[in-house]
Amino acid sequence: NELVALGNVVWFDTGAGGGIANNGIQDGTESGAAGVEMQLFRQGETTPILTTTTDASGYYTFDLLLPGTYYVHIPASEFQVGGPLYGYVSSLGNGSDETSDQDRDENGVDQPDLATTGISSTLYILQPDSERTGEDQSNYTGVLDDDNVNFTDDFGFYRPNSLVALGNLVWLDTGAGDHTNNGIFDADEVGAAGVTVTLYISGQATPILTTTTDISGYYQFDNLNPGTYIVRLPAENFQPGGPLELYISSIGNGNDEFTDQDGDENGVDQPALATTGISSTVYVLQPGTEPITDDESSYTGVLTNANVNFTADFGFYLDVGLVLDKQVLVGVAVPNAPVTYVLQVTNTGTIPFDAVTITDTLPTTDFHYVAGSSSPVEPDVVSEPVLVWHLGRLDAGQRISVSFVVTVTKGVLGLFQNVALSEGEFPRGTVTDTDDIPISIQDPAIVLHKQIESFDDDMIAPNFVTFTIDITNVGVSVIDFLPMWDLYDPTYLAFVQATPAPDDSINDGNLRWSDLTSAAPYGFGHNLMPGDVFHIVTVFSVTQDLQPPITTTNTARVEGATDIEDNDANQDEDTVIITQTIPSAVNLLSFSASREETSVLLSWQTAVEVDNFGFRILRATGPDFTLASEIAFVPSVCHGNLCGASYAYHDQTASPDQAYWYWLADVDTSGNETIHGPAQVGVEGLAVRHEIYLPLVLRGR
């Protein structure tokens, strides 16, 4: 009377004889499973204390047991090839002891792979005189009283050929680029683990099964009766602390496209998942009719492909967006000049960022942050070339900008890329975005262009050449120091005037403007702005006939210019070659000097004189014209009329033991003069005759 017993039946839940398949109830004429090995374990022990085998009707008994807590186990071998339960799975039920007899109690604690794990019953606490009475004990052959025998430990199994399964994937649709929120499970995306998934019979308000996605995001509801089902992810998944907190359903409208998880998002979108959860489309499941193209690699059951529908997929993404836009106010700058960058960060999603950080990396250590230039706040970190701003919270749709100024070391030139990184922190992680922008650092630049504006080539003296010089600022900075030189050959040209005037106008072949940006009359009185032009006009008279092949040049040159940032501009020059025939006031045929006993005889002959007033005679003891001084003036014998003549002059002041160089300057009626020579004579005893012969040019008026 102090002992107890435990049993009772293992049956095939096939629905035979009017029963209902896989309902966890032995009904109709469903038969028992004979020859199944049954093992009895004490709670907490791993070795069976008793083993028996079901009889021809599927019954088993463990009799005359000491009071205690027990469970019954069917080993894995019974479900393997050759075993009495090969190909069978546990019928509907969750292993709870409902204290009812074998006709209404399936107590196997379901396992997904019985051929590996076997199956165990729930725990039974057996005590004498306390067991349920009234259960069917017709197969009991022992001597214990009814209240010492528990015959409610039953196991139902069925072959799944007529059953179906539904799954399959919950994933995070957050891949890179256009993979985000495309409703497709792409290779760079992962499943969502630990998501609670429930199964409903369509039209019913209470779930019939609940499971959780595995580490790869897969789930399955196996061994279902044919019917109409809906899969649902409860709201708890989307609430704070849930595996899908802040996530929303990715693109898709709940249509079952009968494709695998790589292209089928079946969640029927809801606006507030943390309140409503989300359901799938309705699935009508029938054996032998399910899509055979779906990916069932995660399926762990024994149903055939045509009985498994693994197209119930749910994709979710975080509507989190952070866009960084980096701009530079000028794309080209000079060293030392302030360069302003603007960084703009926008929250383009629906999830607020708890904190936003911007990190700007300047191109090189030659870029220098100007302290105090950042707006609206200074960087939290200044460690050139890195600048960091911690900007705090950024709500959905908000935008924040910072601007700052840098300068570049003098002499550092080239194209430089400036890179910025923004980071937005939110409860599920961090989102980043980058942007970069180039800037070209150049020295200031000018272009000089010189040309002949006009010729005065008539026979009336004097004759003039007018030049224009254009200096253009083709750089991006302001030129505030601009010297210029104009170089010419005084043998052929004599400076007349210029606008603006040069700092000096000595006819030595070199006109100089020390700074064209200075005040008038030697400059324009203002700086040369980018794109602006300084226009200079110079006028020269022709001092000696220019007839091909005789030519002369006039060169304008800028050298040593600087901008307001103290950067050196380039040197530039332009040369004009004068090839057009331009007569002087006098066409000189010859000019010679010869030693006589007490003097030097100077002789010259003109072919034609035009408005000639006379001739100045200059003398020096060397070939340097700047050292020459006037010794005489000889009037023209033509008296301003067009004629030619011969002239002679005796230099009575010449020393016989000194060599001399003589120049002849014809002076026209307007005061302009043309220099000829030099003619040279040696000391006494070494006298040389030096004559200059020029081609005869005759022109009428």
pLDDT digits (tens, 9 = 90+) for 418-441: 999 999 999 888 999 999 999 999
When the pLDDT of each residue in the chain is averaged and rounded to a whole number, the result is 87
| Mean pLDDT, residues 328-350 taken together | 94
pLDDT in tens, 192-203: 999 999 999 998
pLDDT of residue 699: 37
CA distance 3 to 613: 159
CA distance 369 to 588: 71
Asked if 259 and 310 count as a contact pair (C-beta separation under 8 A), the reply is no
- Name the one residue in this structure whose structure tokens are 């994933």: 171
What is the SS3 assignment for 635? Answer: strand
CA distance 419 to 388: 12
> What's the half-sphere exposure (Cβ side, CA atoms, 13 Å) at 130?
9
pLDDT of residue 185: 85
pLDDT of residue 86: 83
- Name the one residue in this structure whose structure tokens are 């750089």: 475
Model pTM above 0.75: no
What is the SS3 assignment for 264? Answer: coil
| Mean pLDDT, residues 47-63 taken together | 96
pLDDT of residue 271: 75
Number of Cβ within 10 Å of residue 468's Cβ equals 15
- For residue 611, give the nearest of 457, 462, 463 by alpha carbon: 462
CA distance 253 to 233: 16
pLDDT of residue 262: 45
> What's the half-sphere exposure (Cβ side, CA atoms, 13 Å) at 381?
14
Residue 114 backbone phi and psi in degrees, to 5: -65, -25
| Mean pLDDT, residues 151-173 taken together | 87
Is 187's pLDDT higher than 90? Answer: no
CA distance 166 to 222: 7
- pLDDT cut 70: percent of the chain above it: 90
| Mean pLDDT, residues 72-84 taken together | 91
Rg (CA), the chain: 55
CA distance 118 to 300: 14
What is the SS3 assignment for 123? Answer: coil
Q: How confident is the model at residue 686 (pLDDT cuts 50, 70, 90)?
A: very low
Q: Which helix (H) or strand (E) holds 275?
A: helix 273-276
Number of Cβ within 10 Å of residue 20's Cβ equals 15
Q: How confident is the model at residue 581 (pLDDT cuts 50, 70, 90)?
A: low
| Mean pLDDT, residues 369-375 taken together | 95
pLDDT of residue 640: 61
Please state which of the ranges 75-84, 286-295, 445-454 shows the lowest mean pLDDT. Answer: 286-295
Angle subtended at Cα 691 by Cα 687 and Cα 692, rounded to the nearest 5 degrees:
155
Beta bridge partners of 681: 660
CA distance 154 to 7: 7
Which 8-state DSSP code applies to residue 659? -
Is 92's pLDDT higher than 90? Answer: no
3-state secondary structure 372-393: CCCECCCCCEEECCEEEEEEEE
pLDDT of residue 475: 94
pLDDT in tens, 221-268: 987 878 899 999 999 999 999 999 999 888 765 554 444 444 456 677
Asked if 510 and 493 count as a contact pair (C-beta separation under 8 A), the reply is no
- For residue 301, give the nearest of 355, 402, 357, 220 by alpha carbon: 220
Asked if 524 and 561 count as a contact pair (C-beta separation under 8 A), the reply is no
Q: State how far the alpha carbon of 580 is from the alpha carbons of 63, 488, 496, 573, 589, in Å.
A: 137, 16, 19, 22, 20
CA distance 317 to 207: 26
Tallying the residues shown for the chain, one arrives at 701
pLDDT in tens, 30-39: 899 999 999 9
What is the SS3 assignment for 48? Answer: coil
Beta bridge partners of 201: 229
- For residue 367, give the nearest of 393, 398, 328, 314 by alpha carbon: 328
pLDDT in tens, 471-506: 999 999 999 999 999 999 988 888 999 999 999 877
pLDDT of residue 417: 93
pLDDT of residue 694: 45
pLDDT in tens, 99-130: 454 455 577 888 777 888 999 998 999 999 98
Burial call 324-339: b when 16+ CB within 10 Å, e when fewer: bbbebeeebbbbbbeb
Could you tell me the two tokens for 432? 């980043």
- pLDDT cut 90: percent of the chain above it: 56
pLDDT of residue 97: 52
pLDDT of residue 661: 93
